[in-house]
Amino acid sequence: MESRLTMNQSIFQKLEVSWEYPVYFTENLFDEKNRVFLEAICRKESDKKHRFFIAVDDNVAKAHPGLEEKIFRYVSRHSGELDLVAPIFSIPGGEAAKNEHAWIENIHQKIHSLGLCRQSFVVAIGGGAVLDMVGYASSTPHRGLRLIRIPTTVLSQNDSGVGVKNAINAFGKKNFLGTFAPPFSVINDSQFLLTLSQRDWICGVTEAIKVALLKSPDFFSYLEQHAPLLVNRDISIMQNVVYNCAELHLKHIRTAGDPFEFGHSRPLDFGHWSAHKLESLSQYRLRHGEAVACGIALDTLYSVAMGFFPAEQGNRVIHLFQSLGFSLYQPEMEQENFLHGLAEFREHLGGILCIPLLSAIGSSFEVKDMDAKKIQDAVFFLKKKNL
């Protein structure tokens, strides 16, 4: 024995684990000549056959009827490296995927019965909701399998799919159960965006407006200038928007010093305290992007009312959302428990409220509380102006 324990002694353990993953931008991912998927899966070990199964958002499968066939052809062409161990597994798209917990059990059952190991892959193709759910489900068996995300909506390509979090909803609370689990690789294929409804095409732009307001006046001006082209579904403008938004999110996660959100501050969650509440109060009638647009409008008006943010810049924010066709007032904003969103946000952050507000386009700061009366004034303003 080397040393004797004396009481109240401690051993201080410090671990540093580094994570890395590529986010690829491509088109026609499963065309036989496209090597991005192969690289995404083989990037650490090129000399072995990789076992994986694929879970796909059912609305993506419906909108891309040839997808399954294309994947099978791709896999058989690269059969030296790829081993697809089960039929493609379809999951109802949208928030239902995060509300119906049976899907988690289903995925666990699959991983178990297929005998997948920690170095096997789960490939998730779909919108942010399906990616969040599949990511959460695959982060627990064997304490985490390798996850490849293939986001198929604007919002998931520019924000949710490129980050390190996943979650499902529980007890009426948005994202109540979740893990921090960085993906193995992310692949953004812009061709998927072509089949989005107009609603899902536009609502993902909210996260680009958010991150531009927090970090980049130039990106905000770009969004203003290209709003009509975005509404008219110009794919090359949308590709730029997705790329820049994803890059700003990735840079924040990489450089802001708190990728796993141990602190109270959550600078990227501008407009989100009310957005999460609006999503659950509306029984998920509102998409995340739509609810965040309302949340941003509210916190922008609040920032102006408090004298933090110039009114002329506030008008530009509201005008940009209007020109993209967003509705910024929702009746749930007048429900008595709407302001409980602040308390729930506080609980989620770890007991201390940190709300990001704007000081200029491209600059934010945080406050520790908000004035309920001024929030209500902002709600009435949105209602009165029919925004």
Ligand X SMILES: NC(=O)c1ccc[n+]([C@@H]2O[C@H](COP(=O)([O-])OP(=O)(O)OC[C@H]3O[C@@H](n4cnc5c(N)ncnc54)[C@H](O)[C@@H]3O)[C@@H](O)[C@H]2O)c1
Q: Where are the beta strands (DSSP E) in the chain?
A: 23-26, 50-57, 82-84, 89-91, 121-126, 146-151, 165-170, 173-180, 185-189, 355-360, 363-367
Rounded distance between C-alpha atoms, residue 93 and residue 91, angstroms: 6
Residue 159 binding ligand X, by CB under 6 A: yes
Q: Which of 99, 120, 153, 274 binds ligand X (CB under 6 A)?
A: 153
C-beta of 116 vs 186, nearer to ligand X? 186
Neighbours of 304 (CB within 10 A): 22
DSSP labels for 241-286? HHHHHHHHHHHHHHHSS-TT--SS--GGGTTHHHHHHHHHHTTT-S
Site for ligand X in 84-103 (CB under 6 A): 93-95, 98
> Distance of alpha carbon 200 from its chain centroid, rounded?
14
Q: Which of 146, 149, 287, 348 binds ligand X (CB under 6 A)?
A: 287
Residue 155 binding ligand X, by CB under 6 A: yes
Window 48-77: contact mask with ligand X (x via CB under 6 A): ---------x-xx--x--------------
Q: Which stretch binds ligand X (CB under 6 A): 100-108, 140-148, 150-158, 251-259?
A: 150-158
Closest approach of Cβ 165 to ligand X, in Å?
4
Rounded distance between C-alpha atoms, residue 305 and residue 105, angstroms: 48
C-beta of 154 vs 227, nearer to ligand X? 154
Closest approach of Cβ 284 to ligand X, in Å?
8
Closest approach of Cβ 117 to ligand X, in Å?
25
Residue facing ligand X at closest CB distance = 93
Provide the b/e sequence for 15-33 (b: ≥16 CB within 10 Å).
Answer: eeeeeebebeebeebbeee
C-beta of 51 vs 288, nearer to ligand X? 288
Closest approach of Cβ 255 to ligand X, in Å?
17
C-beta of 128 vs 341, nearer to ligand X? 128
Q: Strand 363-367 and strand 355-360: pairing?
A: antiparallel
Specify burial of residue 322 (Cβ count, 10 A radius: 0-12, 13-18, 19+): middle
Residue found by looking up tokens 């491509």 in the block: 26
Q: Which stretch binds ligand X (CB under 6 A): 4-12, 121-129, 138-146, 375-383?
A: 121-129
C-beta of 138 vs 160, nearer to ligand X? 160
Of 269, 262, 278, nearest to 211 by C-alpha is: 269
Radius of gyration, CA atoms only, the chain = 22
Q: Which of 21, 71, 121, 127 binds ligand X (CB under 6 A)?
A: 127
Q: How far is CA 287 from CA 54, 190, 312, in A?
A: 25, 20, 28
Closest approach of Cβ 6 to ligand X, in Å?
46
Residue 192 binding ligand X, by CB under 6 A: yes
Q: Which stretch binds ligand X (CB under 6 A): 107-115, 192-200, 250-258, 318-326?
A: 192-200
Q: Which stretch binds ligand X (CB under 6 A): 116-124, 155-163, 298-306, 313-321?
A: 155-163
Window 193-232: contact mask with ligand X (x via CB under 6 A): --xx---x---x----------------------------
DSSP 8-state class, residue 149: E
Q: Which of 90, 139, 156, 330 binds ligand X (CB under 6 A)?
A: 156
C-beta of 25 vs 308, nearer to ligand X? 25
> Distance of alpha carbon 177 from its chain centroid, rounded?
15
First to last CA, the chain: 74
Interface residue list for ligand X (CB under 6 A): 57, 59-60, 63, 93-95, 98, 126-130, 132, 152-153, 155-156, 159-160, 163, 165-166, 175, 192, 195-196, 200, 204, 287-289
